[in-house]
Structures are given as C-alpha cells and as structure tokens.
Chains A and B, each alone.
Chain A
Amino acid sequence: MSDTKDPNVSSEKSAEKKQKINLNRLDMPKQDPEVRKRNFDEVATGYTHEMAMEEASRCLQCKKRFCQAGCPVNIDIPDFIGAMRKGDLDEALRVLKTKTSLPGICGRVCPQELQCESKCMLEKKGAPVAIGRLERYIADWERTQGAIKVPELAPSTGKRVAIVGSGPSGLTVASDLALRGHAVTMFEALHVGGGVLMYGIPEFRLPKDIVQREVQYVQALGVDLKLDTVIGINYSLDELLNGPFDAVYLATGAGLPMFLGIPGENLNMVYSANEFLTRTNLMKAYLYPDYATPVKMGSRVAVIGGGNVAMDSARCAIRLGAQEVNVIYRRSRKEMPARGEEVENAEEEGIIFNFLVNPTALVSDGRNNVSGMELIRMQLGEPDASGRRRPVPMPGSEFIMDVDTVVVSLGTSPNPLIASTTPDLDVTRKGTVVTDEKGKTSKARVWAGGDIVSGGATVISAMGEGRLAASAMHEFLTDGAKKIIPPSPAKA
C-alpha cells in the first residue's frame, strides 16, 4: 500500500465523528451453569430485540470492510448490521442470505473471535461488535416470521449437480448452485441431513431443529436431498458422472475416529467421541427411552483430547449425569485447540482439566470393563512441526486415575469409501482428497471441500471452501468455462 497512513485510523476517526464509540459489548444471556449442566437446552439463550438493536448500534459502519474480509464466506457484515440499525430486519436477513444459507448455524458455531470480530475496528479497544450474536439474532428472528421465504432463483441452466454429503460444506454448495439455476441432488448416508451439525455438535450448542430448519431452507431452494444413500455403495462416483450429473461435489467429511493405540482401548465403556456424541445427539440418547438408542455411562468419565469435540463430549457427559468429568490433555492449556469460550463454558459446568498428562494404558476391572487409566506426566520440549512445544513423557511419573467411562477424542480421518471405489481420484497418504485452491480434484468434473480435503477443520471453513468450489463449478457448468475444462471422455 502506497498510503503510509494507517487506513484503520482514518476510518476510525471518521466514524468517531459520526458517533460516540461505545465499548459496552453486550454479553449474551446464558443459562446458569448449575442449571444448564443438568439439561440439554441451549446454553446461550440469545439476544433480546432490545439487546440486538443496542449491540448493532455500536457498529461503526466502517468504509473499509475489514470484518467482511475476515469472513470465510464474505458476508456483507456492515450492510446487514446497517439494516438492523435502521430497524429493517427483513433487509438484514436478505443481506445475510445472499452469502450464507445457514445463518442460524454460523451465528452459533463460527469462531468469530478469530474471524470477522478479530478484524473489527473496536477489537483494538477490546470490545468488537458481537457480529456472530447479531447474525444469530436475525436467523432466530426469521424463525418467528412463519414460513420459509425463498429468494428468486436464476433461470434453470439445465445442468445437474450431485453433492455427496449434506454437512456444512455440502449444504453451502447445494444452495449456491441451486440459486444459480442448477438442478442439485444431495446424497446423505445417514437418516437425516446436516452431517456433523447433527451427529457431532451437541443440542446445547446447536439445537437440532435449527439445523433442520436450515436444511429445509436449502431443500426449499429446490435441492433434492436423498437420505440413506451411500455413494461408493449404492452408486459409484463414476456412475454419477456417467449418469445424469454434469458435475459432482464431494463433501463426505472426516468421519473415521482415531484411537489411542494403547492397551485396553477396546474395553467396555471406552467410546470414540464420535460414538458417544452420535448416540447422544443424532440418536437423542438423552431422551432415552422415548428415543430408542441408549448411551451407557458410569459416574467417573475421562475425556481424552483438548479440541472442541473433547469439550462437547465432556459437557454431554456432565449433562447425562456423570459425577465427575476429567479432560485429559497432553500439552498445556495454552496449546489446547478448543475454542476459548467453550473451555470457559466447560469449566463453569464443573469439568476438571488435567494438563500435561497422557494415557499409557486402560485398566480392566477383571470383567473387561474399564476401571482405571494409567497416565504419565508430560513436560513441554522443543516446538514440533505444528509450532507448538512438543510434549515429552517424564519417566517414572505414571499414576492411575479411577474412571469407569472413557471417551477418546483424538480427531478423525477421512472415510475411505469414495477414494477406494474411485481409482483415478488423487488422495494424500492421510486419505484426504487432493484439490487445487478452488476445490477441483484430479478427476474431471469433480470438486471437493470441507473435512474430506482439510482432514478436519471448522464448520465455516468447510463452508468457505464450498463457496469457492461452487463458483468454480458454476463457471464450468456455464458455457464459457467448458472450453477450459474438457468434459471426461465418458460424458463426451
């Protein structure tokens, strides 16, 4: 930039002229920890109308849209907040929906503190506008306005697109392409749409009726959601391409749980976080026996891992009635990948954090039920490839922790089903699909995004990748681009 003056300062000054800076960032009301740890209702209850309007009024409406640049799906943040400030919630919703079909989800689960809010001018003063909470407010307001309103779709292009997987990335591509006039079919292996939003993220962070409402919105755009259909089994990728579809987007996620590789990990009451969360959330075990799936859990639960999924598992365990829930993490608090807000929530709910310890074995009660966990203390050594200091075991420091349930939350790896049935699709050694920066895979007419490409990231990054891929797919599907990317021989 040739201008030596910091543009932030100038826009801040001009904004200051227009309005007094208000640094009173409004907290969102939350259920009391002692109450919420006994129910699965949403922890944060959302802004009231007055709170939303007051928070919106803090926005400086900067000309330079740093917040928008910080959004992976490029939401016109100053515009939607601007509309709120004028009291035009319909317009705020319209602005949001031009860039996201999932505002109720994004408003709840995006790490705004690392994205839009981290770029807010008021962040420098320690009180960024609560953009995520405002987005959520608008999405929740829409739910009180009756039937889903569908924007005008572009005229039909006559092109057909298959989306494999109905998680955040698949939903984003589905809605982007449907809005542009393509006929979209979305395949889902499970019995409901939403992917990780349904089976992974718990009810108390992301109510399932909100997910379903946003899935229904995408369906209302004309997207045909086919449940109980496994690509790689019921149809191969090549069958989709040789059949009615002009292009395919793979968004099958990273579903396979990783385990410890230590003795005793298959004992009874040792769960993968995926199983524990799937039983609890997707299958609604917390409503057992009204819902038929149970989840068995003892009173002393250990959750191994320090990510968001570990926090979700620990907080489900306490709600299911555990007496004591210990999080076991091999590095220190600083290196924990979980979102700060979720760690705070977990602590408020009485979750105990154990840092710099690593499990070395699980102990049986003699009848193949887990009854204890051997842990070794760790210290931090030199930084590793991730830039975080490597945890090193301290010999002789082993000790036993009494536990009767263990949840292993060490991450997931991609489901190999499609790669193994599609020989000409390039995958990495880890099993993730190789793509260019716009999501194009090595295979003609096939794009991919979300965790199947990244190996495991956030809802919004999966959506961001979907947005880029959808643009590239649209370009390909409309005439001009066909000259650039030739269709595969089978199609021609």
Chain B
Amino acid sequence: MFAIVAHKELAPKVHQLSIEAPLVAQRAKPGQFVIIIADEKGERVPFTISGWNPEAGTVDFVFIEVGKTTRQLAALGPGDSISHFVGPLGRAAEIDHYGHVVSVVSGYGVSAMVPVLSALREKGNRITTILQAPDRDRVFGEAEIGAVSDRLLFALGTSSNGDSMNSSATLAMRKLLDKHPRQPVDRVVAMGSICLMRLICDMTREPGIKTLIHLTPLMVDGTGMCGACRLSVQGKNRFACVHGPEFDGHEVDGWEVLMARRCTYADESILQQGFQCRGCSQW
C-alpha cells in the first residue's frame, strides 16, 4: 500500500495527490509518469509526475476528475492509501540549452510541465508559457508554472463556432511565430490535449521549430508489454510508455489514428475538462 500524504484541490475537480513512494521519488526525472491502482479491483492508470521530493520520499501528480478512478482518487486524503504505485516510467524529457523555449500547456499538463520547465530553465533557457484553459475560473497551477516561466500568457476560452476547439492557444502561438525569427522561438514543448498539440505541431512544422509533445495514450501495463499505447513515428511503431512519452511532434504520423485510439475507451476513461465529443474521434 502507498500512503497519501497530502491532497490539494487546485480548482474545482482538479486535484493534486502526494504519495509516499521513496523508490519512485529517488529516481524521478522531468516528464516521466507513474501507474497507479486505486484498490485491488482498480484499473492501471498512468499519470505524469508533477513533482517529487527524494528526501521526503514523496511523489505528486495532478488529475482532473472525469471517470470512475479519478472520482475515487478525489475522495481520498491523508490517512488513506492506494494499492499500487509504480514508476518512474518512460523516458525523461529532453533537457538542454536551446535559447527561447515556448511551452504550451492545458489541463493536467499545466502542473506536469512544471518539472520540465524547471529543468530547462536551469540550463539557461528563456521560457514563454502559453496556458490554455476554458475560462479564468478554471485556471489552476498558475503560480507554479509562472515561477518557472519568464513570461506567462493566458489563452482562455474556446471558439464558439466549432471550427477549432483550441483557437485561443493557437492564436497566442501565431503571435509568437509572427515575430520569428527576429525574436526566435528555438524550441516548443507541449503537454495538453492531443488536438491542441497537433495544431501546435502543424504551426511549427513550416518554420522548422523542433516541437516536443508529451503523449498520454491509453495504457494498461505501462512497461512495454501490452502495446495499447502504440503510435506511428516515422513509419515505425513506437510505444509511448517505453519510447516516450515525449516525442518529436513532427515525426508523429497517423495523428487521426492516434486521436481515435485515445477515444476507444473515452466513455469509461479520461476526457479533458471542457471537452465535448463531436463524434468525430478528433481530440
């Protein structure tokens, strides 16, 4: 059993849990994830790590209450425990000195990106963050991500005409790209809804700005055994759990299929806050 040491409600239906898991805390790196099982009859669910403390032996992750397991987790607090907690899984995010890094985040990515940006900043990168949320009331984690960004831009709301769910973040990105390369964008990192990351990749492809995206497809074991999280990268099958979860977004092919696979279990699984299924397998 893994004890819960803290539970913070960051916004309505958005929670952060801190779990006592020294083995995971000792090894965690930015961009990695854990698999948790709430109780013995529970499912294995991946969550990107949003923070850790090797001395205290604790690991944090942020989740949005959307399905059975996340509702169950939301009801837990200090004194409670979860059955299983394994990690850190996946490869760590690529961290080096690039110059000006633009990060695009939405949903749980607002919190899970913090360790990545923190590491990038330590390497001397200048960080501009575009934070997308449905509205001002549902913004969370602003202070934490603000602390590791040189500039924090809000992209609130989604377009009402249904053309693009992510028009506001792409608008902010467009403004930055318009000034490129006079004010260069040297690298983009994105963690958020898959359609947002796809749109961002489409925008950065032409100017040739390397864009790393963090994918969280469906997983079962999370260690490379089941292949549920597979995607096509430069024509080759890759598993997000062992080859990712960070990928070069311009090398990902088969976005349509990737997005559709995300929806296979959508009704039982996790949907982003504010998401409306349009029956198009497109998110």
Contacts and interface: CB of A to CB of B under 8 A. Distances in A.
A466 B225 CA distance: 22
A65 B104 CA distance: 71
B260 interface: yes
B27 interface: yes
Given A266-B257, A292-B69, A368-B257, A256 B224 contact: yes
A257 B260 contact: no
Given A268-B260, A369-B260, A275 B84 contact: no
B224 A292 contact: no
B44 A283 contact: yes
B43 interface: yes
A335 B228 CA distance: 29
Nearest to A228: B86
A17 B223 CA distance: 59
A415 B237 contact: no
Contacts of A95: none
Contact of B220 (A268, A275, A290, A296): A275
A278 to B, nearest CB: 5
Contacts of B281: 268, 367-368
A230 interface: yes
A233 to B, nearest CB: 6
B221 A368 contact: no
Interface size class of A (residues with CB under 8 A): 35 or more
A415 B221 CA distance: 13
Contact of A266 (B83, B85, B89, B254): B254
B232 A266 contact: yes
B226 A274 contact: yes
A256 B18 CA distance: 31
Contacts of B227: 256-257, 259, 271-272, 274-275
Given A230-B86, A234-B23, A275-B228, A293 B221 contact: no
A220 interface: no
B223 A189 contact: yes
Contact of B27 (A234, A292, A417): A234
Interface stretch (B49-57, B181-189, B194-202, B261-269): B261-269
A289 B223 CA distance: 24
B264 A259 contact: no
B42 interface: yes
A328 interface: no
Contacts, number: 114
A233 B226 contact: no
Interface in B99-132: none
A229 B259 CA distance: 31
Contacts of A272: 226-228
B189 to A, nearest CB: 23
Contact of B86 (A189, A367, A368): A189
Interface string B70-101: 00000000000001111111000000000000
A296 B265 contact: yes
A437 to B, nearest CB: 29
Interface in A258-292: 259, 261, 265-269, 271-272, 274-275, 278-279, 283-284, 289-292
Interface string B24-53: 101100000000011001111000000000
B174 interface: no
A369 B242 CA distance: 25
Given A257-B227, A259-B227, A279-B220, A292 B260 contact: no
A336 interface: no
Nearest to B222: A189
A227 interface: yes
A275 B218 CA distance: 11
B231 interface: yes
A228 B40 CA distance: 13
Nearest to B40: A191
Given A233-B27, A268-B264, A368-B256, A291 B223 contact: no
Contact of A294 (B237, B242, B263, B268): B268
A255 interface: yes
B230 interface: yes
A140 B144 CA distance: 58
B104 to A, nearest CB: 25
A427 interface: no
B231 A255 contact: no
A125 B256 CA distance: 61
A266 B265 contact: no
B180 interface: no
A240 interface: no
Contact of A274 (B26, B38, B225, B257): B225
B254 A294 contact: no
27 contacts: A189-B223, A191-B44, A199-B221, A234-B24, A234-B26, A256-B224, A257-B227, A259-B237, A266-B237, A266-B261, A267-B257, A268-B261, A271-B227, A272-B228, A274-B226, A275-B228, A278-B225, A283-B220, A289-B68, A290-B41, A291-B43, A292-B41, A292-B42, A293-B44, A293-B220, A368-B256, A368-B260
Given A234-B26, A417-B223, 19 more contacts: A190-B221, A191-B86, A229-B86, A233-B88, A255-B223, A255-B224, A256-B224, A257-B225, A257-B227, A266-B254, A266-B261, A275-B227, A283-B220, A290-B41, A292-B43, A296-B265, A368-B256, A415-B224, A417-B224
Interface of A: 189-191, 199, 227-230, 233-234, 255-257, 259, 261, 265-269, 271-272, 274-275, 278-279, 283-284, 289-294, 296, 367-369, 415, 417
Closest 8 CB pairs of A and B: A368-B260, A275-B226, A272-B227, A255-B225, A228-B86, A292-B43, A293-B43, A191-B84
